[in-house]
Amino acid sequence: MIKQHNHIRPESSTSSMSDLVFLLLIFFMITSTLISPNAVKLLLPESNSKTMAKQNVTVYIDENHNFYVGETAVDPSQLQGDIAAGIESGITDACVVLRADKTVEVQYIVTVIDAVNAINDANGTKHKVILATAPKK
């Protein structure tokens, strides 16, 4: 009788699985740092328009009428200087994205527009203000 020397073993190597898990972990860690969620939680007004622009500076106005340039709280009297500092030098047509809570009165929005217009008048630039909205449901 001839004996067969090939035995099937029910074990499997898991070393390649651990490599795969570490690669996936590194991938998700890197991609999660690329996502920049809104720093200030707002209820944006709704709109059907889909205007997209490159964001140079983002200004937030929350429901308590606090102003933020980026993630930094600013006084309304210093708004013009902080917006100008956020725009890279040499750019003459930057987009300032205004994210205002839908409960904010129009006067606060006009304050931001006036600050950008004052920057334009002082520097001879053509910066724009774009009002961010949420898509209609």
Residue-wise pLDDT tens digits, 26-67: 888 887 766 655 555 656 666 666 666 666 788 999 989 999
What is the β-pairing status of strands 67-69 and 57-61?
Answer: antiparallel
For residues 11-45, one letter each, b for 16 or more C-beta atoms within 10 angstroms of the residue's C-beta and e for the rest, the string is: eeeeeeeeeeeeeeeeeeeeeeeeeeeeebebeee
With 0-12 CB in 10 A as exposed, 13-18 as middle and 19+ as buried, what is 55? middle
Which residues are within 8 A (CB) of 119 and not within 5 positions of it... i.e. 6 or more apart? 80, 83, 84, 87, 125, 127
List the single range of 22-36, 66-80, 83-97, 98-112 with lowest mean pLDDT. 22-36
pTM of the model: 0.62
